[in-house]
């Protein structure tokens, strides 16, 4: 079998056929080949091990050299004093105000319409003119109504004459009745005739009054004082009381009012002040809330709360002789509700926000700061009322609070102290030096948003 396989593999090379048999004695059996062991890279492994050992030694030395300096830098005692600016808390008056968006609303807006049908003969105003109540505005053709007046007057004269004749006949009939010369029925009939003539006279007088009223309607005057708008119809048009456009619109602008809304939470305080007889000042500013337009007083408030918004409306009245307020104009309203006298006031920049609420950094006598929780009240554009936690006269940090911690050392550098130390440069303009709080109060409060006022934390690295 082995020989046959060998012959198949090697027989053709020696000239043997595929079917020839070869004796085992003639076949040279090949000895098995021993596998050669692969060569190992011993020197490469040694080099790799040496490189790893060297890297570990270098890293260990680096850690040993750097760690002491890092620990020294993060130690609070070694940190330099933080440069800050402070300001004292003072006693003062804090106005309690309400800001709202209002709409200038005229106290009277009248569309002048005709009360009688007729041709518009003329107008007596200029567009945009200021008119007073009773000023002439327009004239309707009154000739038909004057003719009706003359007819009614003539009918009255006729009925008056008939009435007088009936009264004369009645007097004669009553005399004859007393003499039994005529029947009593004739006297009674004459009395009814006199009453009929008297009623006809009354009807004629009513016709005369109606004609006079129609003639008066033809002469249209201003019902209120104010500013005349654009003319809605030209002379020559036939006007009727059913017309929807009217002739002109008059808007009262002096005085004028502003209607604004405020949350219902402010209602008790406002109502209490008005019921006590107090006069609440109201100031109107332009839409950009920059320019003051007018000052007035709060007149009244609405009788119900809007359930959809949770607000109620108020009306303030303004003297508008200079026409600074224009109807339907949007304005910003500042309502002074009350004034707190002798309150403790701190600058707005000193108020910080922490996990436990508002707090301030109080500058101590040993040039350290203490984080003190405070309860705030009313605020304005500059100061905030401190209800508890701070007394007047204590200094609070207003700039440089970004990296402050409770008990940190500080170096106060206010503008006044710097000018006192360097009088020569006090009057010269200086370029402001960037401070850690140069990005504004908003970032300072954001920095302390997630920190407790009294929670200890490691000091940051000293400022460069």
Q: Any idea what the CATH number is for the domain that residue 210 is in?
A: 2.40.50.100
Task: Give me the pLDDT at residue 31, please.
Answer: 52
Task: Give me the pLDDT at residue 80, please.
Answer: 80
- 234 with 155, same domain: the answer is yes
Q: Which residue numbers in the chain have pLDDT < 70?
A: 1-42, 44, 62-79, 415-464
Nearest to 326 by CA among 270, 284, 381: 284
Where helices occur in 296-409 by DSSP H, the ranges are none
Task: Give me the pLDDT at residue 278, please.
Answer: 92
Token digits of residue 104: 């200038």
Give dist(CA 228, CA 129) in Å, integer. Answer: 5
- Helices 184-218 and 143-178: crossing angle, nearest 10°? 160
Residue 296 lies in a domain: yes
Give dist(CA 25, CA 5) in Å, integer. Answer: 15
Find out whether the peptide bond into 152 is cis, omega within 30 degrees of 0: no
For residue 240, how far is the Cα from the chain centroid?
45
Task: Give me the pLDDT at residue 317, please.
Answer: 96
Give dist(CA 204, CA 86) in Å, integer. Answer: 92
> Cα(first)–Cα(last) distance of the chain, in Å?
93
Residue 89 lies in a domain: yes
- 352 with 314, same domain: the answer is no
Token digits of residue 194: 């006199």
Token digits of residue 201: 């006279």
Instruction: Tally Cβ neighbours within 10 Å of residue 102.
Output: 23
**For 171-193, how does the pLDDT look when each residue is reduced to its tens digit (9 = 90+)?**
888 888 888 888 888 888 889 99
Instruction: Find the domain containing 266 and state its range.
Output: 98-107+250-340
Give dist(CA 456, CA 464) in Å, integer. Answer: 23
Token digits of residue 64: 């040993």
Residue 65 lies in a domain: no
3-state secondary structure 193-250: HHHHHHHHHHHHHHHHHHHHHHHHHHEEECCCCEEECCCCCCCCCEECCCCCCCCEEE
- 238 with 256, same domain: the answer is no
Task: Give me the pLDDT at residue 186, please.
Answer: 87
Residue 62 lies in a domain: no
Structurally, the chain folds into a number of domains equal to 4
Asked if residues 365 and 296 have their Cβ atoms less than 8 Å apart, the reply is no
Which domain CATH number covers 357? 2.40.420.20
* Phi, psi angle pair for 256, to nearest 5°: -140, 165
* Domain final residue, candidates 192, 213, 248: 248
Token digits of residue 99: 């800001």
* Domain final residue, candidates 316, 340, 364: 340
- 232 with 318, same domain: the answer is no
Give dist(CA 332, CA 292) in Å, integer. Answer: 9
Which domain CATH number covers 260? 2.40.30.170
Residue 38 lies in a domain: no
- 243 with 128, same domain: the answer is yes
Token digits of residue 260: 């604004």
- 206 with 126, same domain: the answer is yes
Residue 132 lies in a domain: yes
397 burial type by CB count under 10 A (0-12 exposed, 13-18 middle, 19+ buried): buried
Give dist(CA 348, CA 383) in Å, integer. Answer: 5
Output Rg (C-alpha) for the chain, integer angstroms: 53
- 166 with 142, same domain: the answer is yes
- 102 with 204, same domain: the answer is no
Pairing assessment for the beta strands 82-88 and 410-412 based on DSSP bridges? parallel
For residue 15, how far is the Cα from the chain centroid?
111
Give dist(CA 123, CA 137) in Å, integer. Answer: 6
* Phi, psi angle pair for 284, to nearest 5°: -105, 130
pTM, entire model = 0.61
Task: Give me the pLDDT at residue 79, please.
Answer: 64
Task: Give me the pLDDT at residue 42, please.
Answer: 66
Residue 205 lies in a domain: yes
- 126 with 174, same domain: the answer is yes
* Domain final residue, candidates 248, 263, 279: 248
- 131 with 207, same domain: the answer is yes
Residue 190 lies in a domain: yes
DSSP label of 306: B
- 392 with 311, same domain: the answer is no
- 128 with 215, same domain: the answer is yes
């Amino acid at each position: 079998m082995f020989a046959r396989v060998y012959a198949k593999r090697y027989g053709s090379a020696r000239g043997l056929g595929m079917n020839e048999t070869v004796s085992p004695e003639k076949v040279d059996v090949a000895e098995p080949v021993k596998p050669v062991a692969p060569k190992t890279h011993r020197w490469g492994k040694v080099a790799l091990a040496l490189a790893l050992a060297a890297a570990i030694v270098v890293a260990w030395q680096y850690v040993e050299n750097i760690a002491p300096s890092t620990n020294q830098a993060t130690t609070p005692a070694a940190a330099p004093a933080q440069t800050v600016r402070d300001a004292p808390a003072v006693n003062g008056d804090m106005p309690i105000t309400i800001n709202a968006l209002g709409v200038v609303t005229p106290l009277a807006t009248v569309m002048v319409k005709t009360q009688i049908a007729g041709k518009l003969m003329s107008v007596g105003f200029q567009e945009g003119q200021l008119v007073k109540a009773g000023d002439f505005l327009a004239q309707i053709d009154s000739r038909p109504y004057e003719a009706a007046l003359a007819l009614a007057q003539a009918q009255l004269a006729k009925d008056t004459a008939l009435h007088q004749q009936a009264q004369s006949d009645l007097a004669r009939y009553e005399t004859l009745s007393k003499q039994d010369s005529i029947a009593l029925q004739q006297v009674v009939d004459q009395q009814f005739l006199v009453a009929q003539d008297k009623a006809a006279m009354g009807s004629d007088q009513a016709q005369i009054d109606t004609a006079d009223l129609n003639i008066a309607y033809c002469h249209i005057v201003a019902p209120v004082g104010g500013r005349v708008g654009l003319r809605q119809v030209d002379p020559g048009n036939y006007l009727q009381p059913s017309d929807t456009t009217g002739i002109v619109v008059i808007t009262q602008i002096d005085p004028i009012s502003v209607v604004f809304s405020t949350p219902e939470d402010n209602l008790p305080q406002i109502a209490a002040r008005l019921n006590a007889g107090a006069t609440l000042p109201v100031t109107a500013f332009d839409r950009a809330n920059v320019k003051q337009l007018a000052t007035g007083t709060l007149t009244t408030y609405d009788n119900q709360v809007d359930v959809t918004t949770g607000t109620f409306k108020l009306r303030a009245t303004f003297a508008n002789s200079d026409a600074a307020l224009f109807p339907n104009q949007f304005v910003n309203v500042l309502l002074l509700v009350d004034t707190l006298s002798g309150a403790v006031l701190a600058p707005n920049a000193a108020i910080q926000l922490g996990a436990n609420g508002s707090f301030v950094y109080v500058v101590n006598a040993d040039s350290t700061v203490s984080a003190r929780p405070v309860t705030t009240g009313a605020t304005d554009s500059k100061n905030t009322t401190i209800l508890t936690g701070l007394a007047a006269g204590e200094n609070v940090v207003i700039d440089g609070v970004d990296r402050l911690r409770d008990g940190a050392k500080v170096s106060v550098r206010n503008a006044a102290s710097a000018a006192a130390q360097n009088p020569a440069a006090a009057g010269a303009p200086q370029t402001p030096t960037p401070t850690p709080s140069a990005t504004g109060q908003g970032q300072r409060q954001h920095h302390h948003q997630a920190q407790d006022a009294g929670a200890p934390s490691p000091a940051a690295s000293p400022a460069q």
